[in-house]
Structure 1
Amino acid sequence: GIIEASMIRDKEKVNKAKQDQQIVKWKQEIYRDIIKESKNLYDKYLNGDSPNSITNKKAYSATRITSSDESIIVAKGSAGAEKINYQFAVSQMAEPAKVTIKLNSSDPIVQQFPPNASGASSLNIGGVNIPISEQDTTSTIVSKINSLCADNDIRASYSEMTGELIISRKQTGSSSDIDLKVIGNDSLAGQIASDNGITFTTDASGTKSAVVYGKNLEADVTDDQGRVTHISKEQNSFKIDNIDYNVNSKGSAKLVSVTDTEEATKNMKAFVDDYNALMDKVYGLVTTKKSKDYPPLTDEQKDDMTTEEIEKWEKKAKEGILRNDDELRAFVEDIQSMFFGDADTIIALRKLGISEHENYNKKGQISFNADTFSKALIDDSDKVYKALAGYSSNYDDKGMFEKLKKIVFEYSGSSASKLTKKAGMENSSSASQNVYSKQIAEQERNISRLVEKMNDKEKRLYAKYSALESL
């Protein structure tokens, strides 16, 4: 009892050091959560390549293009696209250069098409020689072509349905070609010529040569004035006047623009909800008061509690540990002043359905009026795009979301960002090179020193009392 009583102060020191360290670990955890959520917001809405991007012109489209037959053609306009009313008549799809050869799949090729007297035959495709051995069947020749021609954008396959070996380029259009030579096998060359309607030339050595070309997409487009424009495209997907077209088959279909801001408005609302949730969380962290009644638990206290009790306690213990944190407060305030820092900006944004949240406790948050936003898009979608997402190398001329993108990146986008310098990101170079990790490591060394000191004292006391008892 005497020794335990003598050790109380030392144990308290160790527990206090462990509690202090636990608070820093929690701070780091919370910080990393905020970094992760900021990065998610950035990747989903502020990265121009994301389908949900609000910095991309497509996010401000006020029209939708309907097709009378989507199996023939579909189209999607981006911001700035004029309204259309077109009749598309597609007479030819874009196709790659292609050669087909009727073969049965089981017998060796040389049994179906015996070589010339020399005995050796081969195909030369795009300058690559493919020897045909006595054992080669369709499956082995397909493998040979695909491995030897892999760098040439050429692939081979066999269709059991049609009984055809198909050699084709990946690229479509009239500039796609296959330079084909048949060496030492006139019967195979004859089959290829009749299957594909091509004429071979023959050189002095008897080699048969031909070039097979792909086809362009060919279509006649009639506008609502009855004017006809012929288009010829290398691919079945193409862009004209800010409209992306995808042609799926031959035939006729009508494309008409209709006013529709639903998709753009829905995406903007989703962004505002996710953005507000992040601001709410960060501002909550810097304003929540700390409860003095819930310090981190010691190991002894945890031993006497259930898992559920520990979780409830720790939830309370984490509250308010980042109250008035400098970096988190600055994060909210930088965004708040960027959006609502001057009267002109406030007025301009209000016309687009974006205003400061009326509740003062929701600092940094946005109130979004979907009807006002939708109407602004219908009136002038280009103007909305420029105000919110227009890019400029000059910061003051950037759209609001381009400015937001810059701030979010400065705080959480890389290992040199303000929040990351403080807490680090997992699985990155900053994971241990940050303020909190260094602090935790220093505290760990301090705890070890205190524990060592306590153990030494305990040993000394036991030795002292053992000596007294033996007298």
Structure 2
Amino acid sequence: MITTNTLNTLRISGLASGIDTESIIKSLMAVERIPVDKLKQQKQILQWQQEDYRTINNSLRTFRDKVFNMKLQATYLAKKATSSNEGAVGVTATSAAVEGFYTIDIQNLAKGITVMSANRLNEETASDGTTKKLAEQFGLSGTITFTLEGSVKNADGSYKQQTFSFATGEKTIYDVVKEINAANLGIQASYDSVNNRFMLISPGTGETQHLKVVKDDNSFLSGTNSTLQLQITSGVIGTSEITSPQSLVVGTDYTGVNAQFTLNGVTFSEPTNTFTIAGVTYELRQANVTANVTVSSDTDAIINSIKDFINAYNDVIGKINAKLAETRHRDYPPLTDDQRKALSDDEIKKWEELARSGLLQNDPLLDGIVNTMRQTMATIVPGLTGSQYNDLSDLGITTGLYEEKGKLYIDEAKLRDAIQKDPTGVMNLFTKSADKYSEKGIAMRLYDDVNNAISQISKKAGSDSTFTLADNSYIGQRLREIDESINDMEDRLKQVEDRYYRQFTAMEQAINQMNAQSAWLAQQFSMGSR
């Protein structure tokens, strides 16, 4: 048998002896590889542990966001606003809103400028499907020219103007729309091909919106006989709001309309129909209407925030406790490469599920994290002057059975009663700030706990989100050490394998030499017998 090793050294085995050298060396090397396989199994276990640690850390990061919200006083100052007439005004409240009763009297809604064709224009599409030129669509000839002014102002405060010229035999109505919009005057042009109408519309509402036809030499836009038959349907001329359509007039300044209303007797003017006053956002929907607005504490929102927080807490400690209690199957070590070759994919999957189970069983790091969090949730917060609540049980939040390992339950009726009686006391229980950890509110202390936990796990197992190429965590360093040991052993195994081949080759050469000597002696005896 002739083989070549990785160094391309010619190997001749078994020719003289008839021994299956390859099989013998393979069996010998399988024994030699046992320490390497053990190192690879150790590496796999560490990698699985690292994945489990990082999965828990990701859960802690998600939980930290919930805890951060519980640190904010705004969470406990949630307000709600209701309107007596939702059709007239919609309302929402922020935590800055002042509780009370408000009356809003809406005189006028904010409006922009709208100009559109009074009648259906000539069809812009020809019978062959192409778009007609202006000359064909409107019976025009030569070049049309007009100058527009929109809401955009120059550096000196004057309105920006743009003069447009269109060769009617070359351009279409869509070219007109495109060039007006490209000028960025603060006025938007469009053409409705379904109803064959041209439109000029301000991008917003209020008195800052502006439109003016400065020149229109060909009466393309303006005048009673304009080509596009444009009429202004929304806007203000001077101080008079347009209540019925009027022909667009050259040289006339058109502006938008501010919303006009009184709130508890105070007059306001706003450029839009949606605005915020004293923490309440109003959306005006109807003019000449009076509505009542009530702002009050949003107990349901506060309860839901606390419930979400407790659910998130139960979820994260549940995941950690599950890892701490997971069964360890020591009879199922990670598979070696040769073992994998002998199993099906389904068998490999089932084996690995058992092999990686319980790798964090009774882990002291995770156990310490859970205990710290549980202690924080059961702690009494000192120094809450004037409050009847100094721990979570006062709010109806209590620990379950011993075997539930710290799971919390909420008595919602008791929690609601506490929030309604003393919302500030509930807020301070969670958000109290202090220099000493032991004097902080529950959310403030728990936020520190979670940050420390994330840091400890990152030191142990590294982080998926790290921006450095090197993993300097404990497991990361151990993995590098094992890789170095594996590489050293692989080099040594190559040397051992080469030594075996040299030894068997020497044996083959000796046997071959003996065979040659025997043949010579046999030949000599044969000749002597004659």
TM range (shorter): 0.7 to 0.9
Deviation at 1:39, TM superposition (A): 2.6
Distance 1:341 1:84, change over 3 A: closer
Give me the TM-score of the superposition, normalised by structure 2: 0.69
SS state of the match for residue 330, structure 2? coil
Partner amino acid for 1:139?
Answer: Y
1:384 aligns with 2:406: no
Q: 1:211 to 1:392 in 2, by over 3 A?
A: farther
Which of 479, 487, 504 pairs up with 1:448?
487
The 5 Å alignment of 1:64-143 reads 64-79=80-95, 81-86=97-102, 88-95=104-111, 97-102=112-117, 104=121, 106=124, 120-125=145-150, 126=152, 127=160, 129=162, 131-134=164-167, 135-143=170-178
CA distance in 2, matches of 1:248, 1:424: 55
1:178 correspondence with 2:203: no
Among 18, 22, 43, the residue aligned to 1:21: 43
- Name the larger-Rg structure: 2
| Offset of residue 229 of structure 1 | 4.6
Query: 83-92 or 26-35: which moved more?
Result: 83-92
Aligned to 1:235: 272
Distance in 2 (CA, whole Å) between partners of 1:142 and 1:407 is: 61
Cα–Cα, structure 1 residues 296 and 385, in superposed 2: closer, same or farther, change >3 Å? same
State yes or no: 1:277 paired with 2:309.
no
1:279 positional shift: 1.5
Aligned with 2:306 (options 245, 268, 274):
268
Q: 1:302: which partner in 2?
A: 340
Change (3 A) 1:347 1:232: same
Which residue in the other structure is 2:395 paired with?
Answer: 352
Which residue identity does 1:123 align to in structure 2?
Answer: L
Listed one character per residue, the Cα deviations across residues 306-328 of structure 1 (whole Å, up to 9, x for unaligned) are 44443333233323323455654
- Does the residue aligned with 2:91 lie in a helix, a strand or coil? strand
Q: Flag the 1:371–1:80 CA change in 2: closer, same or farther, 3 A.
A: farther
- Answer with 65-74 or 250-259: which moved more: 250-259
Distance in 2 (CA, whole Å) between partners of 1:10 and 1:34 is 38
AA partner of residue 414 (structure 2): T
How far residue 376 of structure 1 moved from its aligned partner, in angstroms, is 1.8
Aligned to 1:168: 202
Structure 1 CA distance for aligned equivalents of residues 281 and 115 of structure 2: 32
CA contact (8 A) 1:177 1:211 kept: no
Shift of 1:247: 3.1
Q: Which amino acid aligns with 1:298?
A: T
Change (3 A) 1:328 1:214: farther
TM-superposition CA deviations, 1:244-292 (whole Å, max 9, x none): 3333444555544677634432343233122211112224434656443
Deviation at 1:86, TM superposition (A): 4.7
296-305 or 254-263: bigger deviation: 254-263
2:524 maps to: none
Residue deviations 1:399-430 (CA, integer Å, cap 9, x gap)? 53344345434554xxxx44345444446514
Residue pair 2:97, 2:278 contacting (<8 A) in 1 also: yes
Instruction: Give secondary structure in 2 for the equivalent of 1:133.
Output: strand
> So what's the TM-score if we normalise by structure 1?
0.76
Q: 2:260 aligns with which of 196, 218, 230?
A: 218
How much does 1:27 deviate? 1.6
Equivalent in the alignment of 1:224: none
Asked if structure 1 preserves the Cα contact closer than 8 Å seen for 2:144 and 2:165, the reply is: no
Task: Tell me which amino acid in the other structure corresponds to 1:447.
Answer: I
1:465 corresponds to which letter in structure 2?
F
> Cα 1:402–1:466, aligned 2, differ >3 Å: closer, same or farther?
same
3-state SS in 1 of match to 2:201: strand
- 1:235 and 1:55 map into 2 onto residues whose CA distance is 35
Identity %: 24
The range that moved more, 273-282 or 4-13, is 4-13
Q: 1:17 Cα deviation (Å)?
A: 0.9
Which residue number in structure 2 is paired with residue 246 of structure 1?
A: 283
Q: Which residue of 2 aligns with 1:32?
A: 54
**Alpha-carbon distance between aligned partners in 2 of 1:133 and 1:319, rounded to the nearest angstrom:** 77
Q: 1:391 to 1:158 in 2, by over 3 A?
A: farther
Question: Which amino acid is the alignment partner of residue 40 of structure 1?
Answer: T
Contact 1:108 1:138 in 2 (8 A): yes
Is contact 1:421-1:430 (8 Å) kept? no
Q: CA deviation at 1:182?
A: 2.6
Contact 2:324–2:363 (CA under 8 A) maintained in structure 1: yes
2: CA distance between counterparts of 1:406 and 1:210? 65
Amino acid at match of 1:77: A
Taking a change above 3 Å as real, the CA distance of residues 246 and 184 of structure 1, as seen in their structure-2 partners, is closer
Equivalent residue for 1:42?
A: 64
Q: 1:189 to 1:439 in 2, by over 3 A?
A: farther
Change (3 A) 1:307 1:268: farther
Task: Say which SS state the counterpart of residue 484 (structure 2) adopts.
Answer: helix
Aligned match of 1:400: 442
Q: Distance in 2 between matches of 1:421 and 1:128?
A: 64
Q: CA 1:380 to 1:342, structure 2 compared with 1: closer, same or farther past 3 Å?
A: closer
Counterpart contact for 2:104–2:262, Cα < 8 Å: yes
Alignment RMSD: 4.1
Mapped to 2, the partners of 1:165 and 1:71 lie a distance apart of 29
Distance 1:314 1:128 in 2: 74
For the Cα contact (< 8 Å) 2:149–2:210, is it kept in 1? no
Distance change (3 Å), C-alpha of 1:356 and 1:155:
farther
CA deviations 1:362-412 (Å, max 9, x no partner) are 25x544332222112222334423432467899777653344345434554
**2:358 aligned to which of 308, 312, 320:** 320
Distance in 2 between the 1:70 and 1:112 partners? 47
Aligned partners of 1:57 and 1:78 also within 8 Å:
no
The DSSP-based 3-state class of the residue aligned with 2:395 is: coil
Q: Distance in 2 between matches of 1:229 and 1:444?
A: 77
Which one-letter code corresponds to 1:348 in the other structure? D
Distance 1:249 1:385, change over 3 A: farther
